[in-house]
Amino acid sequence: MEIFATFDDSVFLEARDKVSVTLCSYNAKLCEPEWFCENTALNTDDPLEKQKVYKFRGDLAVRQGDHQKALDAYSSCQEWIADNNLTIRRDVLEGMARCCTKLGQRDRALDFADLLSKDASNTCHLTSLLLLKVSIYQHFGAVGSKMSALQQLCSLLPFNPWHWYNLGQMCLQLLESGRTTGSCSPERCESSEEQNDGGTEEQQQEAAELNDSRIWLKACVCFIRTRLLLRILRQQQSSFVLQRTESTLQMTDEVLQRLSPKETTLQALTEVVSEDLIPEKMREDCQDGDSLASVCVQSFRERWWNKVLQTGVLQTDGLQTRTQC
């Protein structure tokens, strides 16, 4: 077999003389600082220029803390965004949702989040959406909804230690604040009509899980999973990234000591949450496209929570009092 049998003969031919192309002169546009704030900035018939002006005005207003002004600018920007410019549209909708959150307009903020969800077509889109919902729910004290969003993040990105850590921190806060099922209803800020109806079946299920023993167990699961993932990641880290990992690992160990699960419980939970921590699976596990529809609280419950409950540790070691934390 000839070594060069797969090469084309043209590879060994002399290069042809390239034809030089004369470039036309180009004059770069010079803009003064905050040029978009001038009234004359809108004296144009170009929709793209108007979109830029309103978008920049909104971004500047957010930076200055004037969220009502930013919301008005983003609303005007929407009118000039091309239908095929999904990136800017998503950016503006998220900005409007965050402005409404700061202004105390919970329903409008969630409406904008719902609009974003309709265009979510990949993992990055859904991750941004869920992080947005987490910030909205936290601002308005919707404990159950925030926990649901964090659980969806853990289902979407099961090998991201920081989402598990944040979910664990939330469980720890619930324990330390002495919340119980009655005060931790999934939709604390829902309308009275929705509360009278009892909420959806998913919300009722989540409410049943918001009691001290189950929150304690879920906190243990989250911090154990966080510790396992961080130990894997630190093998390929250095500098300040490694320092952050080491610091978080130390805090995770301290939290687990405060939660004080029995050694048998710790071992059982570690086995459950480490089943999928295989290098090949961690590289191949990707959720895009149609599989995004399966990322929900139910998938988290089936993938993690039900397996944990099957170990029986809730009955043997789960009746911890919140004073131990």
**Is residue 129 within 8 Å of 120, Cβ to Cβ?**
yes
- Residue 165, judged by CB atoms within 10 A of its CB (0-12, 13-18, 19+), counts as buried
Q: Rounded to an integer, what distance in angstroms lies between the CA atom of residue 226 and that of residue 233?
A: 11
**Is residue 164 within 8 Å of 222, Cβ to Cβ?**
yes
Q: Rounded to an integer, what distance in angstroms lies between the CA atom of residue 77 and that of residue 47?
A: 10
pLDDT above 80 (res 240)? yes
Q: Rounded to an integer, what distance in angstroms lies between the CA atom of residue 270 and that of residue 274?
A: 6
How many residues make up the chain in this entry?
A: 325
- Under DSSP, the state recorded for 190 is S
- Residue 323, judged by CB atoms within 10 A of its CB (0-12, 13-18, 19+), counts as exposed
User: Sign of torsion, CA 9 14 19 20?
Assistant: positive
18-35: string of b/e by CB count within 10 Å (b at 16+)? eeeeeeeeeeeeeeeeee
Tens-digit pLDDT profile for residues 119-175 = 888 889 999 999 999 999 999 999 989 999 999 999 999 999 999 999 999 999 998
Averaged pLDDT for residues 307-311: 83
Give whichever of 1-5, 120-124, 269-273 has the largest mean pLDDT: 269-273
Least confident piece of the model among 120-134, 242-256, 294-308: 294-308
More reliable by pLDDT, 75 or 313: 75
Q: Rounded to an integer, what distance in angstroms lies between the CA atom of residue 231 and that of residue 226?
A: 9
- Best CA proximity match to 107, nearest among 183, 190, 186: 190
Give the number of other Cβ atoms within 10 Å of residue 259's Cβ. 22
Distances (CA, A) of 170 to 46, 164, 166, 218: 48, 10, 6, 10
Question: What one-letter code names the amino acid at 93?
Answer: L
Task: Quote the tokens at residue 57.
Answer: 């005005």
Cβ-based neighbours of 219, under 8 Å, separated by 6 or more: 168, 171, 172, 175, 255, 259
* Residue indicated by tokens 């004059």: 27
Domains and CATH numbers, the chain: 34-140 (1.25.40.10), 143-190+201-277+296-325 (no CATH)
What is the chain's mean pLDDT, rounded? 82
What predicted TM-score, i.e. pTM, was given to this entire model? 0.78
- Under DSSP, the state recorded for 286 is -
pLDDT band at 211 (very low <50, low <70, confident <90, very high): confident
Q: How far apart are the first and last CA of the chain?
A: 72
Cβ-based neighbours of 190, under 8 Å, separated by 6 or more: 142, 199
**Is residue 304 within 8 Å of 273, Cβ to Cβ?**
yes
167-187: string of b/e by CB count within 10 Å (b at 16+)? bbbbbbebbeeebeeeebbbb
Averaged pLDDT for residues 280-294: 55
pLDDT value at position 305?
86
Task: Quote the tokens at residue 37.
Answer: 């704030």
Q: Rounded to an integer, what distance in angstroms lies between the CA atom of residue 284 and that of residue 230?
A: 19
What are the φ and ψ backbone dihedral angles of 55, each rounded to 5 degrees? -65, -45
- Best CA proximity match to 325, nearest among 280, 267, 278, 259: 259
Distances (CA, A) of 60 to 29, 136, 279: 21, 21, 44
- Under DSSP, the state recorded for 24 is P
